[in-house]
Structure 1
Amino acid sequence: MKTFQIFIATSFIVLQSISHTVVAETELPQTTVAQKEVSRELKFTGTVEAVNQGTASSQTSGRVIATLVDVGDLVAKDDVILQLRDNQQRANLQTAEAGVRAAQAQFDSAQKENLRIQEIRKKELVSQSVADNALASRDAAKANLDAAKGRLKDSEEQLEFTRIRAPYSGIVLERHVEVGETVNPGTPLYTGMSLEFLRVLADVPQKDIDAIREYKQARIELKDSAVTIQGDALTFFGYADPQTSTFKVRAALPAGTAGLYPGMYVA
């Protein structure tokens, strides 16, 4: 069984008796008082939990055509874990690409015409209003091109949304959909958690919390080693449980700590 221990350094007076020979009628004992610092150990139960755990949801509409992982499978970050039908998204992408090509051609033509008119205007062969119109046409074509590029980016994003990827490396806990189901934005697809970053959550009695907050050091004892956790990796909840009068203390474990898994009980 793993042990969650918090060590508290406390100071107290240690009395040491030292015998001295005193030249007098009577030998009187003398005592030297010295202050030493020792550690007091407090043990608490706790539960290991994953820092990153959540549910991946759909960001577009479509029919599920493939579920590529299942409960218990290990996945790497950015692995494709589910595929939606993407016919509509691909069609929208092609339309957007065509729109960008047309807008680019329109802008190139307007830009060329504007440069020509401005050169002629320098020679005062056309009026200022003609030059202004040419510049306005160029600016309008540029705005149209920017809008077309925006629609293209949105279409590319919608197509990418049909490929659901793992947000981080970890393990699949639950699959919420089946092949053939139609999903919409916000539909839950998978629940999973990362095994890379873990933490221990313990309940500390009210009588001990002040000392722990002051000295800020904890240790998780494993089978063959121990992990020491310093103050900056400890989180102290600012309220007590009204039923148990205990405070929660959370200890962040170093990345890749071996021998501990979410859900394990430590005591």
Structure 2
Amino acid sequence: MKKYTYIVAIAVSVLVASCGKEKAEVQVDNSPAVTVQVNKIAGSGNGQFLSFSGKIQSANSADLSTRMMGYVTKASVNVGDKVQKGQLLVSINNAELQARSSQVSAGIAEANAAFVSAQKNYKRFQNLFADNSATQKELDDVTANYEMAKARLESAKQMKNEVNSQFAYTNITAPFAGVITSKNVEAGDMANPGQTLISVEAPGDFEVMATVPETEISEIKKGVEVDVFVQALGKTLRGTVKEISSSARNSGGQYLLKVSLGKTDASILSGMFATVQFPIERRNTTEMVLIPKTAIVTKGQLSGVYTVSESGTAILRWLRLGRTFGEDVEVLSGLSADESYIVSADGKLYNGVKITEPGTSSQEKGVK
């Protein structure tokens, strides 16, 4: 029995030793280190620009609608077509308006006949009164009848003008030479009052609509020249601030401003996003911490940056960001001066991944 007990004890010891060795081997991380580029934070106080996002739009654009309800009989243009000022774009059935116009014309003819008759009577009684052949009351009655006939004729003419003005809403024409940017109706559709039927823009004259927070709006002046970076084209254009809103009541606390773009050969289009850079000196920026926007990691509503731990691994640190200065973002909290952060990596970064800088091994990084 003692012999069997001794053999079992030896077997258990060997098994435990092998399991412990296997467990130790599993804990060894043999994954390759990710090569990264690291920058060191430094306080900055010599920046020259504030940047705000905006969108390019045509300086001269119009959304055309109608005050009349009716079926569209003709929609003769398509998106992208070039049109001239006064060119017919959309026609709406105006049979009811035509009938009303005929009625008004008949009313004008009737009022004009009554006016001519009243005018003749008025002149005749003026002569009779001058010869003492008519009384003052008779002249007054004829004069009143003449004035009423004259007023009825003028009323009928003004009604004709009103009907004619409504014909303009059944024949939608281009208010200026431009390009069709949207078309919301086709022949046979029902056009409703206030509905946008056609949108047209004048090409070659663009502006940027940008929003500025209240902390910076007082530093921006009308007429200042700015740089406008068009992201889709990768080009920087020159512009001039031409309008600055004095109220943020209807814009969510953001002040709207317009930047007029100068003549350029760049193929800019309405709706392109742009970044407007204002030449404004930063205030109280001796302790400002700036990092490039390319280093920022976003997850939902959170923004952070990967830093380097003492053991040579990447650690994601969440930040509170402030204003944008060109391609840099102000860090309000989460990083301080003289700290290092990862700018770029040759592989996927995550918490705990081993990292190494070019020319430095991960072991050296960890010792360092």
Common fold: TM-score over 0.5: yes
Tell me the equivalent position of 1:62.
70
- What SS is found at the alignment partner of 1:64? strand
The change in CA–CA distance for 1:215 and 1:102 in structure 2 (over 3 A counts) is closer
Tell me the equivalent position of 2:116.
108
1:89 aligns with 2:97: yes
- What SS is found at the alignment partner of 1:213? coil
The change in CA–CA distance for 1:157 and 1:239 in structure 2 (over 3 A counts) is closer
1:99 aligns with 2:128: no
Tell me the equivalent position of 2:167.
159
Amino acid at match of 1:182: M
The whole-number CA distance in structure 2 between the counterparts of 1:200 and 1:97 is: 50
- What SS is found at the alignment partner of 1:251? strand
Tell me the equivalent position of 2:220.
212
The change in CA–CA distance for 1:181 and 1:249 in structure 2 (over 3 A counts) is closer
Q: Do the aligned residues in 2 keep the contact of 1:213 with 1:236 (CA within 8 Å)?
A: no
Shift of 1:72: 2.2
- What SS is found at the alignment partner of 1:101? helix
The change in CA–CA distance for 1:41 and 1:170 in structure 2 (over 3 A counts) is farther
Amino acid at match of 2:261: L
1:138 aligns with 2:131: no
The whole-number CA distance in structure 2 between the counterparts of 1:130 and 1:207 is: 80
- What SS is found at the alignment partner of 2:197? strand
Shift of 1:208: 5.3
Amino acid at match of 2:74: A
Shift of 1:59: 1.7
The change in CA–CA distance for 1:145 and 1:263 in structure 2 (over 3 A counts) is same
Tell me the equivalent position of 1:6.
none
The whole-number CA distance in structure 1 between the counterparts of 2:152 and 2:213 is: 66
Shift of 1:83: 1.0
Tell me the equivalent position of 1:261.
269
Shift of 1:138: 0.4
Using the size of structure 2 for normalisation, the TM-score is 0.52
Superposition CA RMSD, Å: 3.6
Amino acid at match of 2:153: L
Query: Which deviations, in whole Å up to 9, do the C-alpha atoms of 1:119-142 show, x marking residues without a partner?
Result: 110111111111011101100100
The change in CA–CA distance for 1:132 and 1:84 in structure 2 (over 3 A counts) is same
The structure number with the bigger radius of gyration is 2
1:42 aligns with 2:53: no
Q: Which of 54, 76, 79 is the equivalent residue of 1:71? A: 79
Query: Which deviations, in whole Å up to 9, do the C-alpha atoms of 1:195-227 show, x marking residues without a partner?
Result: 354211345577655443399332458999964
Q: Unpaired segments of 5 or more residues in structure 2?
A: 1-46, 276-368
The whole-number CA distance in structure 2 between the counterparts of 1:234 and 1:55 is: 22
The structure carrying a bigger strand percent of its residues is 1
Amino acid at match of 2:148: A
The whole-number CA distance in structure 2 between the counterparts of 1:46 and 1:171 is: 23
Identity within the alignment, %: 25
Q: Do the aligned residues in 2 keep the contact of 1:104 with 1:145 (CA within 8 Å)?
A: yes
The whole-number CA distance in structure 1 between the counterparts of 2:111 and 2:180 is: 45
Q: Do the aligned residues in 1 keep the contact of 2:180 with 2:199 (CA within 8 Å)?
A: yes
Amino acid at match of 1:50: S
Shift of 1:247: 5.5
Tell me the equivalent position of 1:173.
181
1:198 aligns with 2:210: no
Using the size of structure 1 for normalisation, the TM-score is 0.69
Q: Do the aligned residues in 2 keep the contact of 1:195 with 1:262 (CA within 8 Å)?
A: no
Tell me the equivalent position of 2:324.
none
What is the count of residue pairs matched by the alignment? 225
The whole-number CA distance in structure 2 between the counterparts of 1:249 and 1:143 is: 51
Q: Unpaired segments of 5 or more residues in structure 1?
A: 1-39
The whole-number CA distance in structure 2 between the counterparts of 1:206 and 1:154 is: 48
Q: Do the aligned residues in 2 keep the contact of 1:235 with 1:251 (CA within 8 Å)?
A: no
The whole-number CA distance in structure 2 between the counterparts of 1:214 and 1:188 is: 33
Q: Which of 230, 244, 256 is the equivalent residue of 1:235? A: 244
